Chain A
């Protein structure tokens, strides 16, 4: 999967949790949770959704590294490439 495809999966997953989000208005380089008002349950469900869609394991120790949408996409790309 390329970056665009991974970003699309991430946005689809995000929209399933926060349908009011305008994807075009999201800044990829800004903290995602503050832009979208995701609580810890939403965040867990977002990561779980990515795990289910992409079959990528996301250890809890890595959560702190996933701050922006760009972080999430880059992290997933590394994980997918390493398979």
Chain B
């Protein structure tokens, strides 16, 4: 029996709400197949299964909010017999502990489950106010609800009943989520920062020539070239690509670049360009275009939300010259790019004007030091002086 649990879609997620099942009982599930859509504070995310089997039971109900690790469904492995089904709401921490429904309608604390006494005036007034008398505490004889009780409760209740989540609520939730993750980062990760100005004359000239031969839909943005350069440089600096977990660093073989994408309604999501180290520049551009589009449309997959091994943020379009990044735990590094702008550039005793970008690195001192960080940026610089080598 395979337990399909709600995954953590990033370190800043501790709960999610099931929106929809994409499979039914008896369906065969393949590895990587989307089986559910879950709403997090940041986006509605398509949850993939990383195991194969046949759906035995859908435990979570659409609309149910649950903590990370909750068993949402069970799958049967090929040839396995179906055991008895468990109750709804089983969690990883307490497998059979489905939250029991309320024993009775809420009323006065400790009140016996008998018919409540309510004065006619109190009942009439409650009806006029549209109040639920079960929520009014009675202070009259034997707990009877009086007119005074209703008036007191009416004065205390909010002006309007709570509404379903609105965009502003999501925005506030996202801000809280980002704040929690960044507070944890600043509290736990001893950041260090290094930066380097990188001339981009050759890179931009190469891009312009390359784009001249491409149809509009296939043109490359400088952002794609920068991402390719980061992925390539990281192959030589594995201590910047991986996770700090359980008191130690684990380097990751694959390079999954988390790309910070701002949302038009405010907030930020950093889904991953998976296996960026093995993608051509054209593939990276296509996947970046698709990722930005899906992020803003709210259509991301769980693998993209949970697997970034390092983050890249590019604030050049906003005009910032330098980015001082905050690392996304459990990652150990963040690469930032500022605005590409013409600047005076001294070289070989002469002065010229070149397009330049400032690349910065925020990294975790528990894993690397400024010396290695500076070498990484130097490697990035060298790669961007040979853009043709980054094409494949």
Interfacial residues, chain A to chain B (CB-CB below 8 A):
18-20, 37-41, 44-45, 47-48, 51, 57-61
Contact = CB atoms under 8 A, between A and B. Distances in A.
B222 A40 contact: yes
Contacts of A45: 289
A19 to B, nearest CB: 8
A35 to B, nearest CB: 14
Interface in B212-229: 212, 216-217, 219, 221-223
Contact of B208 (A19, A37, A48, A61): A61
A51 B216 contact: yes
B81 to A, nearest CB: 51
B292 A18 contact: no
Contacts of B219: 44, 60
B208 A40 contact: no
B288 interface: yes
Interface string B182-224: 0000000000000000000000000010011000110101110
- Taking each of A18, A39, A61, which has the highest tally of chain B beta carbons within 10 Å of its own beta carbon? A39
Given A40-B221, A41-B223, 6 more contacts: A18-B264, A19-B264, A40-B223, A41-B221, A60-B212, A60-B219
B212 A44 contact: no
Nearest to B209: A60
Contacts of B212: 59-61
A40 B265 CA distance: 18
A57 B289 CA distance: 20
Interface in B124-180: none
Interface in B301-320: 316-318
B146 to A, nearest CB: 51
A34 B264 CA distance: 14
Interface of B is mostly: helix
Given A39-B317, A40-B221, A40-B222, A48 B265 contact: no
A32 to B, nearest CB: 13
B223 A20 contact: no
Contacts of A59: 212
A51 B216 CA distance: 8
Interface string B309-341: 000000011100000000000000000000000
A38 B318 CA distance: 9
Nearest to B293: A45
Contacts of B288: 41
Contacts of B292: 41
A50 B218 CA distance: 15
A59 B216 CA distance: 8
Given A18-B264, A20-B264, A48 B223 contact: no
B60 to A, nearest CB: 32
A44 B289 CA distance: 10
Contacts of A20: 264-265
A3 B284 CA distance: 37
Contacts of A48: 216-217
A39 B222 CA distance: 12
Interface in B240-294: 262, 264-265, 288-289, 292
A41 B265 contact: no
Given A40-B222, A40-B223, A58 B264 contact: no
The 8 closest A-B pairs by CB, nearest first: A39-B317, A60-B211, A51-B216, A41-B292, A40-B221, A40-B317, A48-B216, A20-B264
B168 to A, nearest CB: 14
Contacts of A51: 216
